[in-house]
Chains A and B, each alone.
Chain A
């Protein structure tokens, strides 16, 4: 770790395994602080931007890795740099725009300037004025760059890490997750359709749980159940990397309607018909290669969503133990027809902070957080499909959640 400090950590996760999660995982400030150190500052690749967002020299985008603000910028060589948004002098978080274009970065406090690689260029009055003041003679600008992060760019998606020993990106994902990553990001030019930003009043891990919980969509989400988009009788693959930290929920929609998968499901509405079917005017795309939805959780910072024709990068930014920001970058591809763009826009009504379906998730996460706050001395139950961890072809399983917490315990040393 490049920025260690001691942690007075007192929580004890007494039971072995990861089929019961103590509620303090979702509420405790010390746990949260340790996550910042060992997970967000740890040897993990964090999503920060798409190359299409910074096409030209000097284009930058401000973002967050855990609690730390970073700037993703394209320099004169055309390479992508990620630097911490904190002046090396007095610590000012100097960049406040979401994005823009700069020749250099200048901290407004004392006008220290940095080039697009984060190197300190200018220090006003560095040698003093009229022979007085100034920096000590041994001050060297090259020792006071902005914090420079490790960067990897794969098929238009930019990840960064504060950790010096972060593994190669392909190794970080593992072959199965890499395959699903490249299913969407195969090198095609991406097109950003827009953003949605919401603050969800729940612990950041709950959203990963939600997108590893293949049991809930066929119960919570009436829309999915009714129209066969995601329900218990879908053909399914729920798979992980070898470390079990990442996952993909892979499914093939069916015709919907009544059946074994809807009997006893109170969210099923037998007579639910859309007044306007364009919400679900699905066109099969060749690159899907079978699945109609793949929801990929890339630990710890992002979820890649393809759900019918709606494609989105959903970034997870922790905001204290009891909240996270959920930033949606809705995507299409540069070669989409206008009709396909329109279709992606329409189907996006299912997702995001006002989505017919996604509202269920962010609201439920808030309710789980409320439940966790009620007492610390109890635990959640996570035993569907058993207590072990393995890829599965049924939705009636919580194996992906157990997988994440197995890895989490290892990296958190709890």
Chain B
């Protein structure tokens, strides 16, 4: 089992099919409402990579302060662009007073049948014990943002 950092291939295809909406304006769909994106944590027993297509409870983290499905992400930077790169960003997310160990995470679209967006590999087990477990997303710019299209 292994968790390999990746932007899920299915996500790329679904983007081109209008399957994900990160914005609240200029939306091609009927309602100007962004989809709900979530982040779930996984143990080192999980197999996550670019071929992951959807959220699954298999080998998801369990423990105090963590609920199945993970945290809902806040879109802190709606899709925008700088030069020729489009990007968006999420706010950092924290599981408070948590006793959990995770090896990676999956960002997924809970509005669109829990379809996968991206896999985050932590590079090893990360543990919080009666403490805070935070994922800190990179700066919201064309060089660093978590999701970019160049």
A in complex with B:
no
Identify the A interface with B (CB < 8 A). Answer: none
Interface residues of B, Cβ cutoff 8 Å to A: none
